[in-house]
Structure 1
């Protein structure tokens, strides 16, 4: 399996910093409590210092990107902003799956969107690109939608859209479930200094995967000059 950003994404958003992690041997009964508590604690401290998630440079950068895409940023929020907003308002996060919970906590700690997708539900390759409008997106409610032409989406070789409006909302098709064993974890940031912070975010993800799942991983920092990661192991 391969993951990449289309050259038009790098051209349109040259400030993009991205990372990808392939991981296997994921189990739903693993105990990620320590890691979740640690990174949620960092997120709470970040919020306390900033006063609000909207004051964080990484969130502001995604808001500007959404505006450039013609989206109202307070209506369509990037995933990390939505998580931080929920943490600030509710004080605690729901538990879904230990890997999702851990990656959500890391996403909040770094204020950077982190997506986790079940690779068994992705056909051959996955690319972040501008949609043509023919792609199929399965919502968590079971409805099939079609991204607007020009909307940034994660699209596989079969034309399945695994996210809508870039980092706003993932698809139910490749959502992590109890049977999930192999995943790809993606992080993307647009703020100044993001390229310097991305290695630390990837390290946080791989450390949790090693500690909790003893998972084999393959990682890559992605850029316009190295836009793709290809999984080497089956």
Structure 2
């Protein structure tokens, strides 16, 4: 599979980076109690922190809000997924366990303060391209409604758009039948490549410790706009 990023994105921010983790032979199931407990404790500690530092002042959240504006979208109307998750925690609306893939994806997003999506690779057709959406870009999302992706970065395959830092589509959602997955990290542009690769490797290691299988990491940047695996 080939994954590439459109040049237009770098005209907005030349430091823009996308992290990728390709998982194979994984098992998606109910999260073990150890992970449920760890995520719950993390949320409780984060809630206390958010009483001192508002969500929009967290470094990663703030940087992605600024990026949202740079692309032309309204961060107050269309909040990126990491901010939405964190706002729930600030209200003590803690996340309910779903399954290993979603639970870990949400945990990484809160921990790193960035939007992250995870997708069933067997439901993705041919190559993937990452673009900025226009007025006609959108899909039915996991939130149960049609979502416009105008001026929002998104990923698409040969069929249609399927993922974004805003909300993901139903078509490529990971289920307990998934064995091959792709995780897309919408990294902070200010993060250097070495730190980004370390972050991806740490996340991939934790994910496969829980879900089994194998992983490989990749980084898309202005100097490396496409990868193949």
Q: TM-score range by the shorter chain?
A: 0.7 to 0.9
Counterpart residue number, 1:223: 221
CA distance in 2, matches of 1:91, 1:56: 19
Counterpart residue number, 1:137: 139
Q: Secondary structure at the match of 2:91?
A: helix
CA distance in 2, matches of 1:189, 1:43: 21
Does 1:86 pair with 2:88? yes
Call closer, same or farther: CA 1:196–1:32 in 2, change over 3 Å. Answer: farther
Counterpart residue number, 2:166: 168
Gaps of 5+ in 1: none
CA distance in 1, matches of 2:45, 2:122: 36
- Kept after mapping to 2: 8 A contact 1:53/1:81: yes
Q: Secondary structure at the match of 1:169?
A: coil
Q: TM-score, normalised by structure 2?
A: 0.85
Call closer, same or farther: CA 1:34–1:197 in 2, change over 3 Å. Answer: farther
Counterpart residue number, 2:98: 96
Q: TM-score, normalised by structure 1?
A: 0.83
Counterpart residue number, 2:122: 120
Does 1:72 pair with 2:74? yes
Moved over 4 A (4+): 39-47, 132-136, 141-147
Q: In the comparison of the two structures, how many residue pairs are matched?
A: 227
Gaps of 5+ in 2: none
CA distance in 2, matches of 1:60, 1:141: 24
CA distance in 2, matches of 1:17, 1:40: 30
Q: Secondary structure at the match of 2:28?
A: coil
Call closer, same or farther: CA 1:92–1:57 in 2, change over 3 Å. Answer: same
CA distance in 2, matches of 1:191, 1:226: 14
Counterpart residue number, 1:16: 16
